[in-house]
Structure 1
Amino acid sequence: MDVFPDFGGVGGAAELRSIVGALLMFVLVTAVLMLIICAIVWAIASSTGNYQTATKARTGLFVAIGAAALAGAGVAWVNFLLDLGAEL
């Protein structure tokens, strides 16, 4: 049985793929920028003794890492599920 989504059946599938690709790029760029900013703020706040700001920056760093990992792994996960669905 060959079961998979029919992307050709949707009007404007090429535009949809380009929009999703642009959104993914936006999420990854934002996550990387937040990763850099939070790491810098965490380092400066820790060195100056401002522990409340260091804790918030550390939380932001972990959230940025999680967002980048989820956005990057989302494409691989969807491709895996599409391949798995085609084999069922």
Structure 2
Amino acid sequence: MNVFPDFDSLSGIGDLKVVIGAMLTIILIVAVLMIIVSAFLWAIATSTGNPTVAAKASAGVFIALGAAILAGGGVTWMNWLIQLGEQL
């Protein structure tokens, strides 16, 4: 039995896919830029001996990394679930 969601049953689903793809791209770009800026601030704060800013910058790096992983992994997870549904 081949079970697959009917994405064409709703009107405007193509526009929704375009919007979601654009949002995913923006999220990934912002996350990468946040990683770069936070890592730069972390390095500067550590070298100048400012532990408060270094702690906040390191938290920024890890939060941005988590956001990038969740945004990128969401597509992979959804594709895996669709393939799993086809096998049932």
TM-score tier (shorter): over 0.9
User: How many residues were matched structurally?
Assistant: 88
For residue 33 of structure 2, what is the aligned residue in structure 1?
33
SS of 2:67's equivalent in the other structure is helix
Equivalent residue for 1:50?
A: 50
In the superposition, the TM-score normalised over structure 1's length comes to 0.96
CA distance in structure 1 between the partners assigned to 2:17 and 2:87 by the alignment: 23
Aligned to 2:80: 80
Q: How far 1:10 moved relative to its partner?
A: 1.0
Tell me which stretches of 4 or more aligned residues in structure 1 moved more than 3 Å: none
**Aligned partners of 2:23 and 2:86: how far apart in 1?**
26
Between the aligned residues of both structures, percent identity stands at: 52
TM-score in terms of structure 2 length: 0.96
**1:3, CA displacement in angstroms?**
2.1
Offset of residue 86 of structure 1: 1.4
Unaligned runs of 5+ in 1: none
Residue 12 of structure 2 corresponds to residue 21 of structure 1:
no
Q: Please report the RMSD computed on the Cα atoms of aligned residues, expressed in angstroms.
A: 0.7
Question: Partner of 1:8: helix, strand, or coil?
Answer: coil
* Ranges in structure 2 where 5+ consecutive residues have no aligned partner: none
